[in-house]
């Protein structure tokens, strides 16, 4: 996975309009209340106003990651029984990196003790611990457990699956696991990766047709220059300058970029807010509304290489009631009918994790550990992004981003 800092190059002209700028307060001790002041996107996304309507209550999010520590002040009482597919010592509550706990807090953290405040603090987290490359090496295994993790998440009663992991390898076993999750009515979101200024290869599972690929945007509303754009972006979400736990010791939060990892978590929380307000909707309808209300200045239905349908804006539905849910059984991703989605999206129709995870877990394919599992978060400080064209709109008294598709060279 790796959280090593690296320098990033200017990507060139990203024609992205912007303006979810907010007053930013400086920070002192990382675990104090100042950590929340660094969550610039909460103000920009009108979180306080949305929380008067819904906090995501009734929604469960399966977080496929390095595990989730339920004992941080912000996650106490927020984490349900989950699944560990690693076969290594410990269980899903033993976060061997700190990454999974950060993602969980960005989704459903309460902010207690000065910790990260989730965009959907009324939602609950179901952790699914899988292996990253380093963890596989440490435990002397070369078997990917990605497919097993996805199937385990699909077998929980979570409505949403959030996965901030990615690999450039296309594996049939993983694709089949993704299809299985779709058949269970899950809304599956994943990070598109952070090598947009380097190799920019397609990353999976975000690049599978049934998965919502989430790109990263910065506090100015511009696409993060490292955010990958290899044909897999469906929507953009805040990712730059998002703090997180420094490591598995859980002593301090660190500054820096959450990257597309954090973007995927925040997008998942956005979906939780909308779904909580419309509990009878299917995953397709929730996603239709998120796409319909995304910030953009191009024709609805068209997509940007860098931003997909645009910048995610759950407040447009939560506060203004906007967004067309569309056909409950037609996927806005594939435009195809999804088997059983209308019924199995509902919590009462889903099987419990404890009863189903072992039964349906599929053994992953043999692969090289270093290639198979790489996190898409935690990038270094941004360099200069050149040639930006800005378009500003004001929604409900808050300046929010509208994004412009990059013009062809």
Which of the residues are catalytic?
65, 99, 261
b or e along 353-379 (b: 16 or more beta carbons within 10 Å of the residue's beta carbon)? beebbeeebbebeebebeebbbbbbbb
The closest of 17, 19, 118 to 398, measured between CA atoms, is 19
151-to-88, 356, 363 alpha-carbon distances in Å: 18, 9, 10
Strand-pair partners of 186: none
Helix 259-277 with 283-292: angle, nearest 10 deg: 110
DSSP reduced 3-state for 68: coil
Dist CA 54 CA 259 (whole Å):
26
Dist CA 178 CA 196 (whole Å):
24
Q: DSSP class of residue 157?
A: S
């Amino acid at each position: 996975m790796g959280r090593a800092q690296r320098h990033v190059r200017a990507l060139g002209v990203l024609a992205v309009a912007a303006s979810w700028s907010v007053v930013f307060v400086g920070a002192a001790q990382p675990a104090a209340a100042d950590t929340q002041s660094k969550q610039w996107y909460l103000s920009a996304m009108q979180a306080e106003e949305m929380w008067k309507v819904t906090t995501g209550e009734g929604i469960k999010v399966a977080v496929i990651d390095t595990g989730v520590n339920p004992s941080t002040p912000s996650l106490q009482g927020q984490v349900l029984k989950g699944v560990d597919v690693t076969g290594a010592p410990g269980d899903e509550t033993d976060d061997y990196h700190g990454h999974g706990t950060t993602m969980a807090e960005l989704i459903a953290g309460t902010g207690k003790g000065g910790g990260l405040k989730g965009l959907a603090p009324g939602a609950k987290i179901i952790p699914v611990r899988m292996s990253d490359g380093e963890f596989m090496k440490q435990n002397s295994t070369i078997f990917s457990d990605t497919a097993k993790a996805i199937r385990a998440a699909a077998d929980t009663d979570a409505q949403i699956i959030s996965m901030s992991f990615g690999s450039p390898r296309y594996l049939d076993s993983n694709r089949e696991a993704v299809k299985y999750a779709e058949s269970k009515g899950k809304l599956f979101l994943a990070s598109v990766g952070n090598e947009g200024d380097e190799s920019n290869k397609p990353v999976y599972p975000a690049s599978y047709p049934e998965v919502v690929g989430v790109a990263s945007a910065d506090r100015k509303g511009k696409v993060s220059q490292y955010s990958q754009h290899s044909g897999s972006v469906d929507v953009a979400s805040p990712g730059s300058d998002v703090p997180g736990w420094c490591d598995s010791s859980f002593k301090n939060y660190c500054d820096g970029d959450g990257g597309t990892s954090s973007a995927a978590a925040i997008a998942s929380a956005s979906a939780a807010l909308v779904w909580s307000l419309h509990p009878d909707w299917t995953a397709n309808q929730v996603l239709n509304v998120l796409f319909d209300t995304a910030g953009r200045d191009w024709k609805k239905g068209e997509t940007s290489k860098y931003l997909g349908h645009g910048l995610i804006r759950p407040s447009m539905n939560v506060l203004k009631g906007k967004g067309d849910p569309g056909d409950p059984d037609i996927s806005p991703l594939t435009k195809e009918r999804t088997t059983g989605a209308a019924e199995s999206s509902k919590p009462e129709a889903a099987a419990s994790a404890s009863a189903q995870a072992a039964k349906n877990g599929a053994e992953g394919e043999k692969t090289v550990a270093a290639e198979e599992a790489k996190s898409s978060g935690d990038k270094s400080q941004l360099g200069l992004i050149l040639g930006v064209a800005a378009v500003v709109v004001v929604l409900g008294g808050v300046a929010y981003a509208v994004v412009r598709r990059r013009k062809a060279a």
